[in-house]
Amino acid sequence: MKLIHLSLLFLLASLGLNYRQLYSTLAIHKESRRLERLAISSADEYQNPEPLEDNFEEKLSPDFWKFSIINGAGKVSHADTWHAAAMTLQDGLNINHIPDLEFPRESGDMTHQPAAERYNNLTLIGGRGYRPTPTSDVVLQFSSRASGNFYGTAGVIFQPLGTLGEDGMFVKPFDMLGFSVAGNESSIQGVNGALCYLALNWMPVKVNALPVDPYSWHDYEIRLHWINKKQWQGILSVDGEKLCEMSMPSFGPVEVHVWSDNSLVLHRPKRWWEIAPSMDLKFQDGGNKEFSVGYIRIFAAAR
């Protein structure tokens, strides 16, 4: 009986010490099953929208973009400038961050809605309603560059249509596939810099470092390729060279998400009592930085 009690105590202690790893595994599994059910019930026939593009000349293309938001001080704004972030259109789209003078007095509480006070982010949502089919891929092409003093994260990704609302609240679990940049202070599954990134319900599933200098201009292509109703393949190419392929669940109709924020992602290597590595998310006031997109276009391409 004593041995049984000790075994139960050890099991409970192991579960407690590994709660983050267990939560991550369960969240990914649950989201994978949810996406699979949606894919199975989806219609076989699908008509993709016409091609869209934005060269960021004077103003955002209303055809490409549905909305933009800025998070700061725990609030959301639809202006071009708010709190510690701004958007300008000069030789492309430029998302700028400046020092957050209120940062020391702001809260990092992530349960605050729509986001923590310390979270400074600018997001654009557009290119909506595309889906790969047995006869066509969905192709997203763009150019981008991060400033040399870059911190936080930024990226250009696909996510399921309707993931984020105009009020800054997430309506669906955050699933994504695409290109991301993580600053030197951050580490996502042990890597930073230019990344090829798949996440389900916020949790990183596959993160590959790209042999690319994100601080110089490059042309990127993200291609969604239909394998079957439940499975797609994500392909990322840089300057015409295929650098990353990832098997992924079907997202259904997708939209484009462009962002730059001040997230500080910390990778925690596996310790002897843990079943897997873990991750912490904080925020940093890193001062001035810029993430730029020169052009962006999306279209369905015949296979």
Non-local CB neighbours of 31 within 8 Å, separated by 6+ positions: 173, 175, 200, 201
- Among residues of the chain, what percentage have pLDDT more than 70? 89
pLDDT at position 24 over 80:
no
pLDDT tens for each residue of 113-151: 999 999 999 999 999 999 999 999 999 999 999 999 999
What local confidence, expressed as pLDDT, does residue 8 receive?
Answer: 40
| Preceding omega of 269 cis (within 30 degrees of 0) | no
Distance of CA 218 to the CA centre of its chain: 19
What local confidence, expressed as pLDDT, does residue 271 receive?
Answer: 54
pLDDT at position 7 over 80:
no
Average pLDDT over residues 266-292: 77
What local confidence, expressed as pLDDT, does residue 183 receive?
Answer: 97
What local confidence, expressed as pLDDT, does residue 25 receive?
Answer: 82
Pairing of β 93-97 and β 289-302: antiparallel
Q: Which of 182-186, 227-231, 273-277, 295-299 has the lowest mean pLDDT?
A: 273-277
Q: Which of 13-22, 33-42, 76-85, 217-226 has the lowest mean pLDDT?
A: 13-22
Q: Which residue has the tokens 């810099």?
A: 193
What is the residue extent of each domain of the chain? 2-302
Q: Which of 19-23, 33-37, 73-77, 183-187 has the lowest mean pLDDT?
A: 19-23
| Region class of 301: left (phi > 0), else alpha (psi between -120 and 50), else beta | beta
What local confidence, expressed as pLDDT, does residue 15 receive?
Answer: 37
The whole-angstrom separation of Cα 285 and Cα 154 is 15
Give me the CATH code for the 2-302 domain, please: 2.60.120.200
| DSSP string for the chain | -HHHHHHHHHHHHHHHHTHHHHHHHHHHHHHHHHHHHHHHHS-S---PPPPEEE---SS--TTTEEEEEEEETTEEE-SSEETTEEEEESSSEEEEE---TTGGGS---TTSSSS-TT--EEEEEEEEEE--BTTEEEEEEEEEEE-TT--SEEEEEEEETT-B-TTS-BSS---EEEEEEE-TT--BTTB-EEEEEEEETTEEEEEEE-SS-TTS-EEEEEEEEESSSSEEEEEEEETTEEEEEEEEE---SEEEEEEEE-EEEEEEPPPTT-SS-EEEEEE-----EEEEEEEEEEEEEE-
Non-local CB neighbours of 213 within 8 Å, separated by 6+ positions: 194
Which two three-digit tokens encode residue 228?
């079957």
Amino acid at 136: S
pLDDT tens for each residue of 277-288: 557 889 999 999
Q: Give the closest residue to 132 by CA, choosing from 236, 224, 234, 229.
A: 224
CA angle 136, 239, 234 (to 5 degrees): 40
Distance of CA 100 to the CA centre of its chain: 23
The whole-angstrom separation of Cα 289 and Cα 152 is 9
Q: Which of 5-9, 85-89, 156-160, 280-284 has the lowest mean pLDDT?
A: 5-9
